[in-house]
Amino acid sequence: KKLKNVHSALSAEEVEVNSSAYPGLDSLAAYLVTPKVLNHKDKEVRLFTSLCCVEVFYLYAPEPPWDSNECISVFEQIISQLSNLAHCHSATQTNYAMYFHILEQLAQVKIGVVLVELIRQGDEN
């Protein structure tokens, strides 16, 4: 429920990174990528974590607040969440709107570019 509220706040308001009005944004970003949250046993927690992560990507664009390994973990969870679309046969089904929102954010912010850059960096090392 807390992550649901966080997602609502991140997506509904004009949140500014490094603003005194949102002093805990960096801490929130760090919290979202902890294995305890990102790989939580509850599927709804994982879904809302992914939703919050795409909002954080949006807020911090073009530079995500996470290191390469954390970004890859976020992408893995996002892909896992999007795989649930295979079970949605109608836009009225539970969670469809949330999966769709993840796709919208991926497209709008061009988050995939971050993934390509991470892969390119990995190939260079």
> Could you read off the pLDDT of 22-78 as tens digits, one per residue?
778 889 999 999 999 999 999 999 999 999 999 998 888 888 899 989 998 999 999
- 8 vs 33, more confident: 33
* 68-121 residue pLDDT tens: 899 989 999 999 999 988 888 888 888 899 999 999 988 887 766 666 676 666
Q: Over 80: is that where the pLDDT of 16 sits?
A: no
d(CA 3, CA 9): 10
C-alpha closest to that of 78 among 38, 125, 18 = 38
Q: What is the pLDDT of residue 44?
A: 94
pLDDT reading at 124 higher than 70 = no
CA distance 49 to 78: 9
What is the Cα–Cα distance from 75 to 79, expressed in whole angstroms?
Answer: 6
pTM of the model: 0.85
Supply the pLDDT for residue 61: 81
